[in-house]
Amino acid sequence: MDGFSEQLILQVGDYGGRWELEASPEDVAMLEDIARSVIAGRVREVFAPGRSAISVTLADGSVKTEIGGEAPAGCLPLPFWRRWSRSIQYVPYR
């Protein structure tokens, strides 16, 4: 791949939901599976100050979860933040 990166980056939602993938056939297939699930509305995002968790349910029923954040250094997440924080279920694209 001359002139192009061999890394694929998929971002879903706010802070969480960032997948950094290689340009391998397996990773491209996973990217396609995640994109189809997002389009179908099989995504749940949980928010907390400076972070979020994205859970994507794939067509086969498996769940891919990524957590990310942008909090000041030294800030730890509050205990059980994914249980009590605000969450949304994405709707399908029409």
42-60: per-residue pLDDT in tens? 999 998 888 889 999 999 9
d(CA 88, CA 74): 27
State if pTM tops 0.85. no
Asked if residue 59 belongs to a domain, the reply is yes
Per the structure, the count of domains in the chain is 1
Report how far apart, in Å, the C-alpha atoms of 88 and of each of 2, 44, 53, 82, 91 are: 41, 6, 11, 12, 9
Domain with 62, as residue range(s), is 7-89
Asked if residue 67 belongs to a domain, the reply is yes
Tell me the one-letter amino acid at 66: E
pLDDT attached to residue 77: 72
Selection from 5, 34, 20, 22 nearest residue 68 by Cα: 20
Asked if residue 54 belongs to a domain, the reply is yes
Asked if residue 1 belongs to a domain, the reply is no
